Structures are given as C-alpha cells and as structure tokens.
Amino acid sequence: MDETVARAMIKAHFEASNVSAPGGGPGDAIARASEIYADDAVLEWPQGGERVRGKANITALRSSYPARQEFQLHRTVGCGDLWVNEYTIRYDDRPMMAVGIMEFRDGKVVRERIYFGEPWEPPAWRAQWVERIEPATGQASA
C-alpha cells in the first residue's frame, strides 16, 4: 500500500472518529470513520478478549457506544500493509492511551488490534533520571 494513501486514510479515519467532527451528526461521523474497513474486517481488543467480525458489526458497535469519544492521533508509523497508530481516546473527558495495529489488504483495513494503557503516577524514586511528559499527549511538560 502506498505510504501517502495509507497515511491519508488513517488521518481521515481518526478525524471522522471524533463525533464532533464537522459535516454531520454522530452517525455520519461513524460511517465516514468506517470507510477504512473491508467488509470482512476484524477488530480485536486483546486485553478484554473481544473480537468484532465484519464492517457492519464494527459500525453498529461504534454507533451504540454510550460515552462521548474524542480521538487525538499522536503518531503513525508503518509501511506496506502494516501500520501502527499511537493515540489518546478521551471517554467523556477521561484520557486513555492506545496503540492500534492496522493490517491492510487491497486498500482497506482487514484487521485491527487495539491495546490500551491507563495513565499512572510514577514513583518519586526515579525522578532524577526521567523527564516528565504529559500522559495524554506524550509531549514534555512545561
């Protein structure tokens, strides 16, 4: 898959995933965000032991989500048919760091695995060796 095309698709996916995205209501945004998936795509959350089969089920699940979600894409790396995205999801303003691995086939995502990590307060004993960053952005603190 061409790098420019993959990056543009991923960027559009995350922009549309924000329910507050311009150009329509929540259903419109979710439909636009789902354009990246093949009809037989599989979405997995390994930490919860869950798998969703098919674009229709992915779209239906995301359309039914009970919390407001906001996505902030921090970094995308990859090549060919394998791309990794680092991002923050805010569930009703509660940030959660995530890493998603997208596998493409014929220009569509056929498999996505998403891993989550909650922010934590680091122990004071290692402060002399570390630089603090903002957990929700990965940027250095002021």
The band of 141, judged by pLDDT with boundaries at 50, 70 and 90, is low
Q: How far is CA 112 from the centre of its chain?
A: 9
pLDDT at 27: 62
CB of 110 within 8 A of CB of 42? yes
Closest CA to 15 of 77, 87, 118: 87
Q: What CA–CA distance (Å, rounded) separates 21 from 136?
A: 20
- Give pLDDT tens digits for 8-63: 999 999 999 986 444 445 568 899 999 999 999 999 999 999 999 999 999 999 98
> d(Cα 3, Cα 121) in Å, to the nearest integer?
37
Beta bridge partners of 117: 97
Residue-range domain boundaries for the chain:
3-129
pLDDT digits (tens, 9 = 90+) for 70-104: 999 999 999 999 999 999 999 888 899 999 999 99
Return the CATH number of the domain spanning residue range 3-129: 3.10.450.50
pLDDT at 21: 42
